[in-house]
Amino acid sequence: MGRNGGKKVVLTASVAEMAGWDADPFMAFAGGFPGRLFPPFLLQRMYKPDKPNADYSAPFAPYGLRKIEASLLENGFDEDDVMTVHPRYLKHVMGPNTKVVGISSMDPLGMAYVSLTYTSLTGLGDVSATGVEFWRLSQHPALKEYKVPRILGGAGSWQLKNPMLRKEYGINCIVMGESEHDAPELFNKAIRGEKLPPIVQAKRPTDEEIPAIRNGAIYGAVEISRGCGRGCQFCSPTMKYRRNFPIKKILQEVRANLQSGANMILLNTDDVFLYGSKERFLPNREAVVGVYKAVVNEPGVDVVQTAHASLAPAILDPQMVSEITETIGDKCRYHYRGNPVVTVEVGVETGSPRLMQEHMRGKALPYDVSQWPEIVCEAYGILNDANWVPLCTLVTGLPKETEEDVLLTLDLIHRMRRFKTFFVPLFFVSLEDCALRKEKTLNLRRLTDLQWEMFIECWDHNLLHWRDTWLGEIKNFWLNRQFIKLIGGFLYIAYYKHKHGGRSKQMLNRIAGILGKDYRFLLPFQHPFGGELPESLKQRHQTRLSLLPVIPGSEDVPRELHYVNHEPHYRLRY
């Protein structure tokens, strides 16, 4: 039991969402993989909590939870009454005085994009690690002992809209949307013992109602802008009102992180290139470079990482991209083949302009979306030349997607062979808080040969470009490189052969093939295609490629690393 009968308001999240992932935001994708994929000893390592402060409070917590903590403190709650804590220490801070528990989750049931895609593809179970850990949190002995109301917020709260599920997980109230305006009143209600509404669609907060966080957030996250405004129908950030936060507030959050012991800052934004944009979708170089300068020059900041960016502004202002690179200097979080690189997540989603027109016509603005593949290649040339290596999401299974659309995506992946990027192919998921919420989510059973091919091509690209970086890093671990290759490779292929049959065997064979000579021993076991495409697909794909206009330098690039300096190949107009 907590000192003096426990804290009145306790804020927490599952161990998967409270984990720091060695300050590697992209590693957090592992939370979307099946809970059963990782042995318990590895999970312990992955979820290892930061050493708590002397009063058991968490030095770092999910950004959203910190925002709620700050909202409560700004609205009359006493610092002594509110505490954010890792689940491992709940028993030390809860007690008879505890009146309400606030929980934050991005993905409580494992229904988000990465979870649904990779739990299906690996076939190891239907629940992602995030889902498993959220369930564990709901069964936490301290929460069961002190039966206080539980309020769930965060990007995944919609997953518990169903009353039966809420009951099972012991959630009394879910808050959907930006909760800074509603949170203080809801928590006050819970403290007064009043009945909470089961579902709250939060009212949009004003800029003044959004406080700066007061304590450290995981990855040293600070919010520089919120919302996107491009209107992609499968996406939830677009439902948020677009706003930029002033440098003063950003630096306040940077300092809160540094005081908690962070040396890395993650710029949280749905599109960094449009920070401070004055005209619709046109970048404001001074503002964007200004925000980087302010953060990089803050004493104590050793690493700067950015969350998201869009592609079109890079074409409009390549100088802005280079100036950001110069500003960041060697304060990069990631390395490629031993050299520091700037990374960011970008959404390419599809190579089909028709599908873009259908669901994401704002994504290319101010350009016309009919030029999408050209926009992607042009922007990638600029980004790679300025030492940026983006992580790129692709989505298949969007409503009304045809085989032709998937072929166009395959074409685009081929054109992008020369670029440094990391592909994350995903199934379309009809999120409750997006415009396509009533559409059907793609699943493994409905995956066509071409969609499989898309996954294969993406991972083929990733391994080709990144294997040296990864294997080089593995060398430094206690895990022996040869051991991983031998045992991992055998088990993986044996498992897949059993689980998914021909198409997945083909995928694994091709992946084994491109992994290089160390993996060739895996090939004779199966695969009729010699690590190549099945003939039928190859013909269709070649036909499609031959119909496309030839773009200088974009011929199917041989499978060797091949980079070009950016030259404007297109006359993109807007």
Interacting residues with ligand SF4 (CB under 6 A): 228, 230-232, 235, 237-238, 270, 310, 347, 360, 363
What minimum distance in Å lies between the beta carbon of 359 and ligand SF4?
Answer: 9
CB nearer to ligand SF4: pick between 260 and 284: 284
CB nearer to ligand SF4: pick between 172 and 225: 225
What minimum distance in Å lies between the beta carbon of 434 and ligand SF4?
Answer: 9
CB nearer to ligand SF4: pick between 442 and 507: 442
Give the H or E element holding residue 18.
Answer: helix 15-18
- Strand 339-341 and strand 334-336: pairing? antiparallel
What minimum distance in Å lies between the beta carbon of 362 and ligand SF4?
Answer: 7
- Please write down the HEC assignment for all residues of 530-543: CCCCCHHHHHHHHH
The answer to whether 161 and 144 have CB atoms below 8 angstroms apart is no
What minimum distance in Å lies between the beta carbon of 363 and ligand SF4?
Answer: 5
What minimum distance in Å lies between the beta carbon of 154 and ligand SF4?
Answer: 17
What minimum distance in Å lies between the beta carbon of 241 and ligand SF4?
Answer: 13
What minimum distance in Å lies between the beta carbon of 323 and ligand SF4?
Answer: 23
CB nearer to ligand SF4: pick between 132 and 431: 431
**Identity at 141, one-letter amino acid code:** P
CB nearer to ligand SF4: pick between 17 and 270: 270
CB nearer to ligand SF4: pick between 53 and 370: 370
The answer to whether 221 and 25 have CB atoms below 8 angstroms apart is no
Taking the C-alpha atoms of residue 526 and residue 503, their distance in angstroms, rounded to an integer, is 11
Taking the C-alpha atoms of residue 101 and residue 87, their distance in angstroms, rounded to an integer, is 11
Q: Where do runs of H (alpha helix) occur along 95-162?
A: 113-122, 129-138, 141-145
- Phi, then psi, of 403 in degrees rounded to 5: -60, -35
* Nearest in space to 109 (alpha carbons), one of 435, 432, 426: 432
The answer to whether 91 and 142 have CB atoms below 8 angstroms apart is yes
Q: Which residues contact 218 (CB under 8 A, 6 or more apart)?
A: 18, 19, 20, 21, 60, 61, 62, 63
What minimum distance in Å lies between the beta carbon of 228 and ligand SF4?
Answer: 3
What minimum distance in Å lies between the beta carbon of 294 and ligand SF4?
Answer: 24
Taking the C-alpha atoms of residue 387 and residue 341, their distance in angstroms, rounded to an integer, is 6
What minimum distance in Å lies between the beta carbon of 93 and ligand SF4?
Answer: 36
Taking the C-alpha atoms of residue 423 and residue 413, their distance in angstroms, rounded to an integer, is 9
Beta bridge partners of 265: 304
What minimum distance in Å lies between the beta carbon of 281 and ligand SF4?
Answer: 10
Q: CA 30, 139, 62: angle at the middle one, nearest 5?
A: 45
Give the H or E element holding residue 41.
Answer: helix 40-46
What minimum distance in Å lies between the beta carbon of 128 and ligand SF4?
Answer: 21
CB nearer to ligand SF4: pick between 167 and 204: 204
CB nearer to ligand SF4: pick between 8 and 363: 363
Give the H or E element holding residue 251.
Answer: helix 247-259
The answer to whether 165 and 135 have CB atoms below 8 angstroms apart is no
- Phi, then psi, of 317 in degrees rounded to 5: -145, 75
CB nearer to ligand SF4: pick between 197 and 231: 231
CB nearer to ligand SF4: pick between 240 and 544: 240
E-strand ranges in 135-268 read: 150-153, 173-176, 199-201, 216-217, 221-223, 225-226, 243-244, 264-268
- Phi, then psi, of 498 in degrees rounded to 5: -70, -40
- CA gyration radius, the chain: 24
Sign of CA pseudo-dihedral 347, 349, 355, 358: negative
**Residue 265 corresponds to which tokens in the numbers above?**
């800052």
Q: Where do runs of H (alpha helix) occur along 416-563?
A: 449-474, 481-483, 489-500, 502-514, 535-547
CB nearer to ligand SF4: pick between 211 and 390: 390
Beta bridge partners of 391: 345, 422
Secondary structure of residue 197 in the 3-state scheme: coil
Taking the C-alpha atoms of residue 209 and residue 366, their distance in angstroms, rounded to an integer, is 31
CB nearer to ligand SF4: pick between 361 and 465: 361
CB nearer to ligand SF4: pick between 269 and 462: 269
